Structure 1
Amino acid sequence: MSKISKLQEIIDSSDNIVFFGGAGVSTESGIPDFRSQNGIYKSLKKYGDTPENLVSHSYYLEHTEEFFNYYKDNLVFKDAKPNPAHIALAKLEKIGKLKAIVTQNIDGLHQKAGSKNILELHGSIHRNYCQICGKEYELNHILKSDGIPKCECGGIVKPDVVLYEEPLNNAVLNFSIDYISQADTLIIGGTSLVVYPAAGLINYFNGKNLVLINKSETHYDNLSSLVINDAIGEIFSQIKI
């Protein structure tokens, strides 16, 4: 049996699927992984620092304007469109098989594809708020601002994204754990499972089918029911829903 046929069989026989995704889910939509070798080279050459430092809480506090320059150039892709993986997951949710999407991505592409129950571990570029009065702003406010985005009250408008050195949202984390622990199938895609605490969520899975779809190997491959080393959009484009 081919790996595509095996994945099709697992999806067809499951009625409580959770999907856990990382940067590789969005690369086929033209959003590069900013932590890739190319991303590191680009950030060192242009900004003189690593991506992890440039999107850290301390860098945001100490070099706020430079943070926003990097953020707008490297983490915001307003015109990106959902790829076959996003679309297939939305269809699986619509027919009742997929119960939740847990994502490390901040791009909002799952929402664009029509998915509803999305747990965004690292927040979203589409939510922004004033750090003084709490007023909410859309993405365009950030993109149109020169330098540091400001609220009408004078406060800085910060993206609702989890920076390095910041904790994950406990409510989102707990909901993710609940869904994963109750799932009969966990499909993990586009992540090498090395960024914690998000990668640790796999340890809460008690179900039957653990599926890993990633271009490169992961430390969890030997624990999986099915491993496919390929682009996730390419794989989901072959699944009948």
Structure 2
Amino acid sequence: MNNNIERLKELIDSHHNIVFFGGAGVSTESNIPDFRSASGLFNEKLNRNFTPEQLVSHTFFMRYPEEFFKFYKDKLIYEDANPNKAHIALAKLEDMGKLNAIITQNIDGLHQKAGSKNVLELHGSIHRNYCTKCGKFYDLEDMLNLGNIIPHCDVCGGIVKPDVVLYEEALDNGIVNETVNALSNADLLIIGGTSLVVYPAAGFIDYFDGNSIVLINKSTTSYDQKASLVINDSIGDVLSKAIL
């Protein structure tokens, strides 16, 4: 076991109110690509190039719903994805009574699939979908079975929108409050799989008032200098060695 892993293990052993803050890098090890890594996408129908961020914006959803759902279903839904070593290690840490919350920017639900219970999904989830007219709930399978490209409610015919936070939309106030509370009360913050450049999510880190921050990411981040420990490696490998 190398020195960084040994140091992480010591930090975990000596703290009892741990919060994990994770981004896309947690799920890339489950073969879910970070959609932001895609370049501009040309749409023949609209004769325009769009960034991935534009394609998952509220404006695009309202103006071009068919093009939105084509991109959404192709690039953001991975039904066959399974939890990786990072998800499993974090679920174990929660079982041990040390991890009090997972704050995630991901929408894939893999933390819950691994067994984690207290998961705060800043950007929502693909597994929850609601009719924009009557509010009927659809899980992922039911939404995908509504037929055609744009899912329409089988009760009122309204468009069924994923419960994900699109660009230009506000975060859920309840989740924001729980996130701030979890970070404010934590004594150890482990940040993994995120470059901390997506706001407002990355800004929540400033609410942490504990004494130790661990950063696990394959590349450097702007928060490296504030961390007690920085590990530039696979988050799945690191957490599984330190926890399992």
Is this contact kept in 2: 1:210–1:225, CA < 8 A?
yes
RMSD, aligned α-carbons: 1.3
Amino acid at match of 1:96: G
Amino acid at match of 2:31: G
For the residue of structure 2 that corresponds to 1:164, the secondary structure is coil
Indicate the residue corresponding to 2:26 in structure 1.
25
Q: Structure 2: which 5+ residue stretches go unaligned?
A: none
How many residues of Structure 1 are paired with residues of Structure 2 in the alignment? 238
Work out the percentage of aligned pairs sharing the same amino acid.
Answer: 64
User: How far off is 1:215 after superposition?
Assistant: 0.8
- Runs of 4 or more, structure 1, over 2 Å off, are 43-48, 141-145
Alpha-carbon displacement from aligned partner over 1:175-206 (angstroms, at most 9, x marks no partner)? 00100010000000000001111101110111
For the residue of structure 2 that corresponds to 1:19, the secondary structure is strand
Indicate the residue corresponding to 1:151 in structure 2.
153
2:233 & 2:36 partners in 1: Cα distance? Answer: 19
Amino acid at match of 1:199: A
Trace 1:56-205 onto structure 2 (pairs within 5 A). 56-144=57-145, 145-152=147-154, 153-205=156-208
User: How far off is 1:170 after superposition?
Assistant: 1.1
User: How far off is 1:237 after superposition?
Assistant: 2.1
Q: Tell me whether 1:3 sits opposite 2:4 in the alignment.
A: yes
Alpha-carbon displacement from aligned partner over 1:17-50 (angstroms, at most 9, x marks no partner)? 00000000000000000001xx225x34888311
For the residue of structure 2 that corresponds to 1:32, the secondary structure is coil
- TM-score when normalising by structure 1: 0.96
User: How far off is 1:155 after superposition?
Assistant: 0.7
2:42 & 2:181 partners in 1: Cα distance? Answer: 39
Is this contact kept in 1: 2:35–2:75, CA < 8 A?
yes
Amino acid at match of 2:39: I
1:205 & 1:76 partners in 2: Cα distance? Answer: 32
1:240 & 1:172 partners in 2: Cα distance? Answer: 27
Is this contact kept in 1: 2:93–2:243, CA < 8 A?
no
CA gap of 1:228–1:45, structure 2 versus 1, over 3 A, is: farther
For the residue of structure 2 that corresponds to 1:174, the secondary structure is helix
